[in-house]
Amino acid sequence: MTTKILVPVLAFTGVVVAVMQTLLVPVLKDLPQLLDTAPGNTSWVITSTLLSGAVATPVTGRLGDLYGKRRMLIVSLAVMVAGSLVSALTSDLIPMITGRALQGLAMGAIPLGIGLMRDLLPEEELGSAMALMSSSLGVGGSLALPAAALVAQHADWHVLFYGAAGLGAVCTVLTIVVVPESPARARGSFDVLGAIGLSAGLVLFLLPVSRAGDWGWTSGRTLGLFAAAAVVLALWAVLELRLAAPLVDLRTTVRPAVLLTNLASIAVGASFLVVSLVLPQLLQLPKVTGYGLGQPMVVAGLLMTPLGLTMMGTAPVHARLSARYGPKGTLILGMVIIAAGYGAGLGLLSAPWQSLVLVVVLGAGIGLAYSSLPALIVAAVPVSETGAANGLNTLMRSIGAALSSAVVGAVLTSTANESMLPSLQGFRLSFLFAAGAMAVGLVAAVLLPKSRQASKRERALSM
């Protein structure tokens, strides 16, 4: 095994898995017709992927710690291929939701890849490798937009799923051939009750977050599910604290280094999704609105591509900066760039080239922030808990994205113009929300303690 092959394979796998999250965005408005169902039902096609991904990240991370990260990575990819084929072969709502849920289960591949890198790579290569793997979550999401738009315009939409199945099969073969199994193992058995409790709590929490725009934030259904989530997660926490080998070691999770990193992750996840939701709509709105930029769907997707490419390009830059200033310093720098980007974006919404500048700036900031998060987590937890801890951190980013999606959706809906199109005011309020999320995240980042282990690791990277 050579690390020169291992890192690209794991990073490519992360990109492919992340593609599943935005695969259907270009055809979202056409789904009611394509699936022959009511518009309200089609939101489950997206929600199912979000919920299954949220459940999978901590669960597969723990299973990887116990039984082998490579083994669980192969299982995750196989499930994703199966889900892609289920969706490719149907035009009915329920099978489509099932296939999309199976695709979402592969989200655990990203923390598994980070865990494998920690176990297998020499320290001098670890910083840039983890940065690349962490940024794959955003890279895949942004690169999928133009590719999916191109396919949707010129081929049957089911081709999207056949393509996803093919990419998943390639990743599976590459993982089997190139990636060795990690020798690191956690002690104990798998916490089945903890997995069920966490899954139930996450579903009860994320379901109203993702559907509150349709149900209403103060509706009985929304508030009832939030209350149920609070009760279930509280009971789950009591259970986890009593177990010798819990699914999530809450005593480790509440350490300042881990807790504050996870809080910062929520803010970074929220900031990434705002630009992904707002700019494509602004670019495609007709010019007759007075603020729309009138770009075709494929062009709008291409203008978003630098977001992912810039995130990927920051990985080696992050390694150098982190070697000198530590991952805490690079996280703070990334968040400052994100906040500045959204602030400047309030006045850069009148031409396509301005959108291009904005996505490059935000891509650089988000890339630095994303790349810093796994380094901070790895430095703060024992080797035997790497998979579960990174799974939980990835989950925090997903929760931030879900909250951001709900807030931006509510803002754009409530400020829509007479034609029910998103307004310029709604876009600017969404940017202000992202900047506010960064302000909260910056507070958490500044309060992070400096880890001795992180300092030692970064010194090794600088040698």
Domain boundaries, the chain: 3-191+243-462, 192-242
Label residue 415 exposed, middle or buried (CB < 10 Å: 0-12, 13-18, 19+). Answer: middle
Q: Helices (DSSP H) in 179-255: which residue ranges?
A: 192-215, 220-242, 250-253
Residues 3 and 122 sit within 8 Å (Cβ to Cβ): yes
Extended beta strands in 288-425, E state: none
CATH architecture, domain defined by 3-191+243-462: Up-down Bundle (1.20)
- pLDDT given for residue 3 in this prediction: 61
Extended beta strands in 4-111, E state: none
Measured torsion, CA atoms of residues 170, 89, 26, 288, in degrees rounded to the nearest 10: 160
Closest CA to 209 of 409, 438, 29, 430: 409
User: Can you tell me whether residue 279 is helix, strand or coil?
Assistant: helix
- pLDDT given for residue 293 in this prediction: 82
Distances in Å between the alpha carbon of 287 and those of 293, 296, 344, 412? 5, 12, 22, 18
Residues of the chain with pLDDT under 70: 1-3, 40, 137-138, 141-142, 213, 315, 384, 386-388, 451-463
User: Can you tell me whether residue 128 is helix, strand or coil?
Assistant: helix
- pLDDT given for residue 457 in this prediction: 42
- pLDDT given for residue 264 in this prediction: 93
d(CA 64, CA 317): 30
- Sorted by sequence, the CB contacts under 8 Å of residue 154 that are 6+ apart come out as none
Helix 352-380 and helix 109-120, axial crossing angle in degrees, nearest 10: 60
pTM of the model: 0.77
Give per-residue burial for 27-40: e unless 16+ CB within 10 Å, then b.
beeebeeebebeee
- pLDDT given for residue 199 in this prediction: 85
Instruction: Please say whether the dihedral angle defined by the alpha carbons of residues 354, 360, 366 and 368, taken in this order, is positive or negative.
Output: negative
Record the tokens describing residue 44, joined without a space: 């489950």
